[in-house]
């Protein structure tokens, strides 16, 4: 009998006990320079190089935790005919593709899983299709290897992403089906598209949601998550904890490397965080707001100096480590652009990030973290159990061009509790 994984994520840094990933496939190359922008890319990726780099992340995760692949999970839930019909109905309705419903229903589960992710080629059997400039009846999910955004574990709930761009809607539908129906998971899903009073105003993406502590959420608002999205989260959690704190950080709309909070702030350890200093500490025109609730009611909403200062008032005194180092704004900007602040913790003081951000890696090393190559772990040359604090480096010449790092590419479903 398959082991159950009840959702349990009460921090960013607790020992990782289960994580969902999606290895990039042909969908990342199923685009042209002309439609890359529509796919939320600024460039097109080389799949062979991106896959090699992603396999380093996957190989490390498989050494330290239980790892699930989206495509496998989806294939398994599609064995249930009712789930299959409902998912196809939702996808076809939202993407105006009712005409291909019979075709999708005819596919066996593995092939259907593949096509829902990689795209469904348009059959040129009608005049309208023949004249169409579109290649796909269902477009490929170019961004799905960033599994962080379409669903996010918060305590023992899973919030289904209310994606800002319609090109990512299918990702949320797929993740909702997995969490609702896969036998491996036990979770309550919360979907703003169904529950929000005015769904059109709400957008929520997982890259903007960080769990600092069991009673503290950090949420970015800007290009991808709306203030109404924060209000929705707050409403859903108001009875969860006796006390709940949400620290909201406004983000610039440009450049695109600031799309989510985890591109400028991530947790590393019980006493350390990674920040992109110009946004987190210096951009005073972008507010940091502290919302405090107790007994299910908002007690106060007030502006704070910055995230570290707000956390310090709540008993979390974190040392900010600077993305790109502290000596040259030029290197800070370059390394942030390539996801230099986007680290993923597999345990307290145990993180994964891109090797290319050399100044950032040096900062971590100078703060007591051993630098370990992912390839050495995968080949068995290094046993992570022998290290207390470390940063695992994966190659990143191609993956960062998609606009994300190790945290973006991982969706935890369970972590051990941290004893603060």
Does pLDDT of 36 surpass 80?
A: no
Between CA 308 and CA 280 the distance in angstroms is 9
Q: Where are the beta strands (DSSP E) in 4-155?
A: 5-6, 16-21, 67-69, 120-121, 136-138, 151-154
Between CA 391 and CA 354 the distance in angstroms is 10
Dig out the tokens for 223 from the structure: 């290009």
Does pLDDT of 241 surpass 80?
A: no
Average pLDDT over residues 103-121: 97
pLDDT confidence band for 35 (50 / 70 / 90): low
Residue 21 three-state SS:
strand
Does pLDDT of 116 surpass 50?
A: yes
Q: Where are the domains of the chain?
A: 5-86+139-415
Dig out the tokens for 1 from the structure: 């009998």
127 Cβ contact partners less than 8 Å away, ≥ 6 residues apart: none
Average pLDDT over residues 46-55: 95
Q: How far is CA 313 from the centre of its chain?
A: 28
Q: How far is CA 363 from the centre of its chain?
A: 24
Comparing CA positions, the residue from 75, 251, 277 lying closest to residue 177 is 75
Whether 241 contacts 235, CB under 8 Å: no
What is the pLDDT at residue 134? 82
Between CA 160 and CA 157 the distance in angstroms is 10
**Cα torsion angle, 118, 256, 19, 226, sign:** negative
Comparing CA positions, the residue from 239, 259, 191 lying closest to residue 42 is 259
Whether 13 contacts 1, CB under 8 Å: no
Whether 192 contacts 204, CB under 8 Å: yes
The alpha carbon torsion through 146, 317, 16, 293 (nearest 10 deg) reads -70
DSSP state of 34: T
Whether 257 contacts 227, CB under 8 Å: no
Q: What's the CATH fold of domain 5-86+139-415? A: 3.75.10
Per-residue model confidence as pLDDT tens digits over 375-406: 999 999 999 999 999 999 999 999 988 889 99
Residue 11 three-state SS:
coil
Average pLDDT over residues 74-90: 98
Whether 413 contacts 7, CB under 8 Å: yes
SS3 content of the chain, % helix, strand, coil (to 5): 35, 25, 40
What is the pLDDT at residue 403? 85
Place of tokens 């951009």: 283
Per-residue model confidence as pLDDT tens digits over 183-207: 999 999 999 999 998 999 999 999 9
What is the pLDDT at residue 31? 63
What is the pLDDT at residue 32? 61
Does pLDDT of 33 surpass 70?
A: no
Does pLDDT of 157 surpass 90?
A: yes
pLDDT confidence band for 28 (50 / 70 / 90): confident
């Amino acid at each position: 009998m398959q082991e159950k994984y009840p959702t349990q994520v009460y921090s960013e840094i607790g020992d990782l006990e289960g994580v969902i990933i999606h290895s990039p496939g042909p969908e990342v190359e199923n685009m042209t320079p002309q439609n890359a922008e529509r796919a939320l890319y600024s460039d097109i990726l080389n799949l062979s190089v991106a896959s090699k780099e992603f396999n380093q992340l996957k190989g490390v995760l498989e050494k330290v935790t239980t790892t699930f692949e989206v495509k496998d999970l989806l294939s398994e839930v599609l064995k249930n005919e009712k789930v299959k019909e409902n998912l196809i109905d939702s996808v076809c309705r939202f993407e105006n593709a009712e005409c291909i419903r019979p075709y999708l229903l005819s596919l066996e589960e593995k092939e259907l899983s593949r096509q829902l992710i990689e795209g469904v080629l348009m059959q040129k059997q009608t005049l309208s299709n023949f004249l169409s400039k579109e290649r796909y009846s269902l477009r490929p999910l170019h961004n799905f290897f960033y599994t962080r955004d379409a669903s996010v574990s918060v305590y023992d709930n899973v919030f289904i992403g209310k994606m800002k761009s319609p090109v990512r809607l299918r990702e949320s539908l797929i993740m909702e089906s997995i969490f609702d129906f896969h036998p491996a998971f036990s979770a309550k899903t919360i979907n703003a598209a169904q529950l929000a009073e005015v769904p059109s105003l709400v957008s929520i993406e997982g890259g903007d949601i960080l769990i600092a502590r069991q009673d503290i959420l950090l949420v970015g608002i800007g290009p991808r998550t709306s203030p109404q999205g924060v209000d929705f989260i707050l409403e859903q959690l108001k009875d969860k904890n006796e006390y709940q704190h949400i620290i909201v950080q406004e983000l610039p709309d440009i450049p695109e490397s600031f799309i989510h909070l985890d591109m400028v702030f991530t947790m590393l350890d019980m006493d350390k965080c990674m920040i992109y200093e110009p946004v987190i500490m210096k951009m005073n025109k972008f507010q940091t707001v502290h919302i405090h609730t107790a007994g299910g009611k908002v007690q106060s909403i007030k502006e704070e100096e910055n995230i570290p200062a707000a956390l310090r008032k709540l008993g979390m005194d974190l040392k900010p480590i600077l993305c790109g180092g502290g000596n040259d704004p030029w290197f800070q900007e370059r390394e942030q652009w390539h996801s230099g602040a986007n680290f993923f913790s597999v345990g307290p003081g145990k993180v994964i990030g891109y090797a290319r951000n050399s100044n950032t890696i040096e900062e971590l090393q100078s703060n007591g973290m051993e630098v370990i190559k992912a390839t050495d772990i995968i080949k068995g040359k290094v046993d992570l159990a022998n290290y207390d604090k470390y940063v695992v480096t994966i190659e990143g010449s191609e993956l960062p061009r998609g606009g994300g790092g190790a945290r973006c590419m991982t969706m935890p479903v369970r972590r051990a509790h941290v004893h603060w």
